A = this chain, B = another copy of it.
Amino acid sequence: MSSVLTPEQVLAHWQGHRRLTRRVIEAFPEDKFLSFSVGGLRPFAMQAMECLALAAPVARGVATGQWAEYTAPTTPDSKAALLALWDQATGEINAIWPTIPVHRFTDVDKAFGQWENTGIGSIQYAVDNEIHHRGQGYVYLRALGIEPPAFYDRS
């Protein structure tokens, strides 16, 4: 099979996006993070929690084949508490990654017991979903008169 991406590159790409999302979270004033909305969409805190509910659980599911049912996460009542969960997930994903047998990226599972996909497909879904919601966060920040962090900076 022709290879265009290694597991290490997939991790680096994902964690680069997660660093950018962390900066978007930090850019929100606390009260706006928890409550501001445009067009009836969820506040960014709830969107970020959805990303967290996929992140480490997806890495763990791909690594082990064991998936818990997806449950809508409870959003913490402060930015600091959410950022602590974010950093915890960063460490978990990094720790899980080297334990993923390479065949698990192409094995097909029912992710969270319901979404049939390859391992890499479930990971791509989590990353894409985060980029999608973060793009919405950029609109919220602009509507609040706040300059968002640069999209291309993943450092």
Contacts and interface: CB of A to CB of B under 8 A. Distances in A.
Interface in A102-138: 102, 105-106, 119-120, 124-125, 128-129, 131-136, 138
Given A3-B1, A4-B120, A139-B136, A128 B17 contact: yes
- Copies of this chain, how many? 2
A77 B17 CA distance: 34
Interface residues of A, number: 40
A13 B131 CA distance: 15
A2 B6 contact: yes
A106 B9 CA distance: 11
Contacts of A138: 41, 132, 135-136
Would you call the interface of chain A mostly helix, strand, loop, or mixed? helix
A153 to B, nearest CB: 12
Nearest to A129: B151
Given A38-B142, A125-B152, A132-B135, 17 more contacts: A1-B3, A2-B7, A3-B102, A4-B6, A4-B10, A4-B106, A4-B119, A4-B120, A13-B124, A17-B128, A39-B140, A39-B143, A40-B142, A132-B132, A132-B134, A132-B138, A139-B140
